Every structure is written in C-alpha cells, then in structure tokens.
C-alpha cells in the first residue's frame, strides 16, 4: 500500500542553496502531517509538524496543499548539517515512504 510517494533523490546541492521536497499522500482523510529527518543508521526524529496554514521554523518551511494532496518542505540557506533523509508518513497506521535523501556539498 503506497500511502505516500516521495522523490528518493539524492538531491545534491551546494551550501547556501534553497531546496524543496514534496510528498504526495493518497489518503484524503489524513488529518495530521509531519516531516521527519533521519541521519544515517539513526532513528527518525520529528523535524516539524505541517499545519493547514503552513509552518515555518527558522530556515525550514512546511506547507500543506489539501486540494492536490501533498505536503512540501522548503530548506533555505542549506547547511552541511542538513544532509540527511527526509521522511513524511501517511496517516495512522503510519506508513513511511522511502524518504528523500539530501546531500549538501561544500
């Protein structure tokens, strides 16, 4: 069951670049949306919640488009430390896609 679809990447971007990922979901009844970050061989950690009105946290902006059923994550002024895999789960029961791998290059 593919509740979520993400471009797996990898996205290789230079430091300072702006990069955006999308995550499409199939369950129109989904109510809660989140972005997670996973570093290599570590557990996924919540990056930010995605609200209907959008959500901004420093260099990160998350938005929800219910009509087209996708959420997006925008990272401005990329840092080397942003290199990770970014995941968006579908609704409960939670199903994660493969994630989008980002590599920020010096």
Partner 1 sequence: EAQVTQNPRYLITVTGKKLTVTCSQNMNHEYMSWYRQDPGLGLRQIYYSMNVEVTDKGDVPEGYKVSRKEKRNFPLILESPSPNQTSLYFCASGNYEQYFGPGTRLTVT
Tokens of residue 55, six digits:
């959500």
The CA-atom distances, in angstroms, between 50 and each of 1, 33, 72, 75, 80 are: 23, 5, 9, 14, 24
Q: How far is the CB of 2 from partner 1 (least distance, A)?
A: 10
The CA-atom distances, in angstroms, between 80 and each of 50, 54, 55, 76, 106 are: 24, 25, 23, 12, 7
Q: How far is the CB of 96 from partner 1 (least distance, A)?
A: 4
> Looking at 12, 32, 52, 65, which residue binds partner 1 (CB under 8 A)?
32
> Looking at 23, 63, 86, 97, which residue binds partner 1 (CB under 8 A)?
97
Tokens of residue 14, six digits:
């230079």
Please report how many Cα atoms fall inside a 13 Å half-sphere around the Cα of residue 39, on the Cβ side.
6
Stretch that binds partner 1, among 21-29, 54-62, 69-77, 95-103 (CB under 8 A): 95-103
> Looking at 44, 55, 61, 103, which residue binds partner 1 (CB under 8 A)?
44
Q: Which residues of this protein are in contact with partner 1, per CB under 8 A? A: 1, 32, 34, 36, 41-46, 49, 87, 89, 92-99
């Amino acid at each position: 069951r593919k509740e979520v679809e993400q471009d797996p990447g990898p996205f290789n971007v230079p430091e300072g670049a702006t990069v955006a990922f999308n995550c499409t979901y199939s369950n129109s009844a989904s109510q809660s949306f989140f972005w997670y970050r996973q570093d290599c061989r570590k557990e996924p950690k919540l990056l930010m919640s995605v609200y209907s009105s959008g959500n901004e946290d420093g260099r990160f902006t998350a938005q929800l488009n219910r009509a087209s059923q996708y959420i997006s994550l925008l990272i401005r002024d990329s840092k080397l430390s942003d290199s990770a895999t970014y995941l968006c789960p579908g609704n409960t029961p939670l199903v994660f896609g493969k994630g989008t791998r980002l590599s920020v290059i010096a």
